Every structure is written in C-alpha cells, then in structure tokens.
Amino acid sequence: MNTIMSTATLNINLAALADNWRDLDSRTGCETAAVVKADGYGLGAGVVARALAGAGARSFFVAVAEEGVILRKALGEGPAISVFSGHMAGDTEMIRDAGLTPMLNSVDQMLRHVEGLPGHPFGLQLDTGMNRLGMEAAEWDAVRELALGQNPRLVMSHLACADTPEHEMNARQLARFHEMTDGIDAPRSLAATGGILLGPEYHFDLTRPGVGLYGGLPFVDARPVVTLDVPVIQVRDVAPGETVGYANAWTADTPSRIATISAGYADGIIRAMGPNAALHAGSTGVPVVGRISMDLIGVDVTALGSDPETLQLIGAHQSVDTVAGFAGTIGYEILTSLGARYRRVYAQ
C-alpha cells in the first residue's frame, strides 16, 4: 500500500512522551505536573494530556483560559487545570464553567477573582525577578494575608535562566522565592524543566515540566518524541549555472539533482533556516538549496544514489534542537510552529 500523501507526516510517540514525564518525575520527591500550553507544544493538547494523565499526571498548566476550556473537554472532570495568565477581564465564565484554576498575577486579578468568583479555586504567581508575570514584593506584601486566608491551591514563580545552571540569577530567584513564601501553608512551585535539573532545592511541592516532556533541551536525557517526514513531489536535473527557487538565490556549480518537497514556511519550517538547513534520506544529510517558500523547498539530493520518496527533517539524525539551530532559535519555537497541514500520527 502506498501511504505517501501530498502533505508531510508528523509522527508523535506518546510512549516516549510518557517516559519523559516519568523520568522527570523520578528526579524529584514532589508532585510532577505537565505544561500543555500552545496546543501541547504543537503536538495536540488533548492527546498529549490524556497520555500524560495515563502516566500519572494529575495537574496541567495552560497559558490562557481558552486553552483550559479545550483541555477540560479532553480530560473530563478530575485533573487540575491551571492558567498562567491568571484571571483576565472576560475570562470569568470560562474559569467557572471549565473549573479552571487561575494563577493570579496582580492585585487587580486578585480583586477580580474574589469579586467575580468568590470561593473558586485559585493560585498565586509571584515575580522573583523575571519581571514578566506575577506580583511584585510590594504587591504581595499588601495582599498576602488576604490571599493566604482564601486557601490558594499553589504559590508559584518562574525562573528566567534555568537553562543555564551556572547563572547567578537562579540562586537569586530561589532566595527571593524563599523570602516571599517561607512559612506559608500553601503548596509551592518554582521549577519547570530546567528547574527540575537544577536540583532538589528548586523542587518545592510541585514541578511544571514543559519542553522536556516533548524531547527538547535542556533535558538532554529526553527521549525524542517527534519525527517529521516530507514527501518529494518531483526530482529534476539542474545544470551548472541554473538557479533554483525565488530570487534565483541558489546557483548550481556542478550537475545537480534537485528534489522539490511538499512543505514550507507555512508549515512552520522557518524561512530564515534556508541557508543552513538539511534533511536526511536514511543517514545521509542533504542540504536545502534556494529559498524556503510557502509550501515547497528545494533539496540537493545529488549525493543519493536514487531519488527519495520522502526526506526527514526531524528524527533520529537531527533533533528538534538541531533544526532550531538552523534558524538560530530554540527547539521550543520549532515545536510550537509545527504546521496545521501535517498529518499527525500518534504512536502509543
């Protein structure tokens, strides 16, 4: 049976995903949650979250309330679903109806929550120096008694430099988190994937791994979760002096065999990676030639003995982080940019 379609196939290994969660869970003595924001880092929040629930995760985090509503439908009642952006104007009905737990980031959000949904669960996010989300020390001082009296489900903060273990910012944020929270009764959380790897003093009562679950750095021991295979539409001979693609950006200097594959920047293959990117046919790397276009990419397959039916962008021979390097970015952006046109195939 010929299974080549005209769009690329994204294989998602749910067993590897679950193994990554168990591995990170085994490195701490506390609860391990799972971050499934941005549609489960591009892999499908519902499927990913159900697989992680099967592995034992009981708490999930999303970025915004709309994601929480979708996730609640996928998970049903039971698991906790927390929202990093907190309780924004317009979110009240979603938070109530989907049973979401907003991580309140400011006094404004605190007041909105206790007025709009008195008695509804919430958590608190504190800023320990990243200056992105969470209450500042002065705000926290002002509402601390009120907030702690309402039984928050979690008090959390986020590390700015956890991917760089030697960065002095890590210890500085840890010290500030202790100053702001020591002695409280509520469970505490500081660590995402990077924080788990920094060691037990960063673990507190709950960790919130994200990128490590999906096979990305800084979790170097992660099992790879995704492979991406792109079908070849056609292959042609190109003579020396001929050009390939938009703006004639690549010129053959020897007789070349050029494949046109069915994916492009509209599928999240970032246009900027063109000059550095390669794909693989088996273990043989083959370079992208010319500009990446919206739906198509040229690849020099001269080195192969025969014309390939597909070429692999992500897999055993180059990781999500390797591909990120082609564009000077991070694996996270490759994952969250994975295209809607890909055929997603989930392996248990």
Does position 330 interact with a second copy (CB under 8 A)? The reply is: yes
**Interface map 19-38 toward a second copy (x if CB under 8 A):** ------------------xx
Does position 300 interact with a second copy (CB under 8 A)? The reply is: no
Largest Cα–Cα distance in the chain?
76
Does position 130 interact with a second copy (CB under 8 A)? The reply is: yes
Does position 73 interact with a second copy (CB under 8 A)? The reply is: no
Burial per residue of 138-152, b for 16 or more beta-carbon CB atoms within 10 angstroms, e otherwise: ebbeebbeebbebeb
**DSSP string for 256-299:** EEEEEES--GGGT--GGGGGG-EEEETTEEEEEES---SS-EEE
Does position 244 interact with a second copy (CB under 8 A)? The reply is: yes
Does position 233 interact with a second copy (CB under 8 A)? The reply is: yes
Give me the catalytic one of 37, 202, 332, 342: 37
Token pair in block for residue 255 = 């007789």
Q: What is the DSSP pairing of strand 101-104 with strand 155-156? A: unpaired
Question: Which region, judged by CB under 8 A, interacts with a second copy, from 13-21, 50-58, 81-89, 148-156?
Answer: 81-89
Does position 329 interact with a second copy (CB under 8 A)? The reply is: yes
Q: Interhelix angle for 137-148 vs 168-181, to 10°? A: 40
The rounded distance, in Å, linking the Cα atoms of 211 and 194 is: 9
Q: Nearest CA to 187 among 31, 80, 24? A: 31
Does position 133 interact with a second copy (CB under 8 A)? The reply is: yes
Q: How far is the CB of 185 from a second copy (least distance, A)?
A: 26
Give the H or E element holding residue 71.
Answer: helix 65-75
Q: Is 246 a known active-site residue?
A: yes
Q: Is 37 a known active-site residue?
A: yes
Q: Is the Cβ of residue 150 or residue 243 nearer to a second copy in the bound state?
A: 243
> Which member of 23, 39, 300, 321 binds a second copy (CB under 8 A)?
39
> Which member of 4, 15, 303, 316 binds a second copy (CB under 8 A)?
4
Question: Which region, judged by CB under 8 A, interacts with a second copy, from 24-32, 49-57, 122-130, 199-207?
Answer: 122-130
Does position 322 interact with a second copy (CB under 8 A)? The reply is: no
**How big is the site for a second copy, counted in residues (CB under 8 A)?**
78
Burial per residue of 20-31, b for 16 or more beta-carbon CB atoms within 10 angstroms, e otherwise: bbebbbebbebb
Q: How far is the CB of 10 from a second copy (least distance, A)?
A: 13
Q: How far is the CB of 135 from a second copy (least distance, A)?
A: 9
The single residue listed with the structure tokens 């995402």 is 192
**Interface map 260-299 toward a second copy (x if CB under 8 A):** x-x--xx-x-xxx-----------------x--xxxx-x-
Instruction: Please name the residues in contact with 129: beta carbons below 8 A apart, sequence gap of 6 or more.
Output: 160, 169, 172, 173, 176
C-alpha separations of 179 from 74, 133, 172, 289 in Å: 38, 18, 11, 55
Residues forming the active site = 37, 246
